Amino acid sequence: MSPNVSTSRRKETIASKQKQTHSQAMAVMNAAASKVRQEIEDKCDYVGDKFADEARAIHYGEKMERPIYGQATPSEATGLIEEGVDIAPLPDILRPKPSKKIN
């Protein structure tokens, strides 16, 4: 019985397969992230840096309920959470590029 010796050719083959698998996984993840970004753009209103004010107004019934996204400072986000406003940060990969139109 011969020992299982890693040759440079075997190492190259393994590395090539790993690179291919990694590339395929990244392509699948990027495609999924793209779909999520598009869904957010299509179904949510971009409110820019007025996010905290808009979220608060929606929460308290001052404005019509609708899905929104935008920016908030950490202190604004903390304040919203303390008030019971349901918010969640979007990871950079899922954040749509803001449109110029702010509702």
> Per residue in 24-37, pLDDT tens?
999 999 999 999 99
What is the maximum span of the chain, computed from C-alpha positions, in angstroms? 79
Please answer whether residues 69 and 14 qualify as being in contact, where contact means their C-beta atoms are separated by less than 8 angstroms.
no
> Two tokens at 2?
């011969």
In the prediction, which pLDDT does 20 show?
86
The more confident residue out of 99 and 72 is 72
Sign of the torsion angle spanned by Cα atoms 51, 56, 62, 65: positive
pTM for the structure as a whole: 0.70
